[in-house]
Structure 1
Amino acid sequence: MLTLYHNPRCSKSREALNLLETQGVDFRIHRYLETPLSLDELQSLAARLDDDTLALVRTNEMEWKALRLAAPSEQQCLEAIAQHPRLMQRPLLDRGDRAVIGRPPEAILSLLDEA
C-alpha cells in the first residue's frame, strides 16, 4: 500500500496528491503534521529512501537553522524531524520497500513505474 506523507498547505504536496488521484492509484494519506512519525518510524522511512537522510530535512526552516548543526549526523537529522515534524521534506511517497521525495512532485511516479 502506498502512503503519501502530505501537508495540505504545501503546493508541491497538493500537486503530488493530484498526480496520484489522476493515476487512479490506491493510496493512503498520512498528514504527518497532525500525526507525527516517531523516531523509529523516521529511521525506517529514511532507510527506504534513495537519498541520504539530510535530504529528508527542510533545511531552510527556522527550526533547523536554530539547531546550528554544521555537519549533522543521520541521527541528529531524524531527531530534529521527530521534535519538529514541520522539518520533514514533502511530499514523500512510501511503498513499504522504497520511498521517494516528491521534489519535483513527478518524482513520486517512479514508484508507480516500478510496481
Structure 2
Amino acid sequence: MITVYHNARCKKSREGLELVKNSGKEYKVREYLKDPLSETELEEILEKLSFAPIQLVRTKEKLWKDEYKNKDLSDKELVSVMQSNPKLIERPIVATKDKAVVGRPESKIEELL
C-alpha cells in the first residue's frame, strides 16, 4: 500500500498525487494538515526517507524564518516543531512499507513506483 502525505492546496502535492493515481497501484491519502502526524509517525517517515529532520523542513516558510531559523534545535526538537506546525513539512511525501520520497522533482515518485 502506498501512502501519499498530501496538502491539497499545494500544486506539487496535487501533481504527485495524480502520478500515484495514474500508476494503478493501491494507495491512500493522508491530508496531514487536517490529520496531523504524530512525532512517532514523523520519525518513521524520516527513517524511510533516510533524512535528518532538518531535510524535511520547509525552511523558506515565513513561520520557519520568523520562529525557528536562528535557533539551534536538536533532531528531536525539529520533529516536535514539524508535528506542531505541519505546514513546515515538505510535500508531497509518498511512502511504501519500506521506503519514502519527497516528490520534488516528480521523477522521485516515478522511481519509487
Q: Same fold (TM over 0.5)?
A: yes
* Aligned residue identity for 1:103: R
Say which is worse superposed, 97-106 or 29-38, in terms of deviation.
97-106
Secondary structure class of the residue paired with 1:9: coil
Aligned length: 112
Contact kept, 8 Å, 1:6 with 1:92, in 2: the verdict is yes
Secondary structure class of the residue paired with 2:50: coil
* Distance (whole Å) between structure 1 residues aligned to residue 35 and residue 27 of structure 2: 17
Say which is worse superposed, 63-72 or 98-107, in terms of deviation.
63-72
Which residue is equivalent to 1:5? 5
Say which is worse superposed, 68-77 or 33-42, in terms of deviation.
68-77
Secondary structure class of the residue paired with 2:80: helix
* Distance (whole Å) between structure 1 residues aligned to residue 34 and residue 27 of structure 2: 18
Which residue is equivalent to 1:51? 51
Contact kept, 8 Å, 2:59 with 2:69, in 1: the verdict is no
TM-score normalised by structure 2 residue count = 0.90
RMSD: 1.4
Q: Deviations over 1:44-87 (max 9, x none)?
A: 11111133322211111122121234554321221110110101
* Distance (whole Å) between structure 2 residues aligned to residue 102 and residue 64 of structure 1: 21
* Distance (whole Å) between structure 2 residues aligned to residue 35 and residue 15 of structure 1: 20
Contact kept, 8 Å, 2:56 with 2:89, in 1: the verdict is yes
Which residue is equivalent to 2:100? 99
Contact kept, 8 Å, 1:50 with 1:100, in 2: the verdict is no
* Distance (whole Å) between structure 1 residues aligned to residue 8 and residue 34 of structure 2: 11
Q: Deviations over 1:6-61 (max 9, x none)?
A: 01110100111111112212100000000000111111111111333222111111
* Aligned residue identity for 1:68: K
Contact kept, 8 Å, 1:5 with 1:32, in 2: the verdict is yes
* Distance (whole Å) between structure 1 residues aligned to residue 38 and residue 13 of structure 2: 21
Contact kept, 8 Å, 1:42 with 1:78, in 2: the verdict is yes
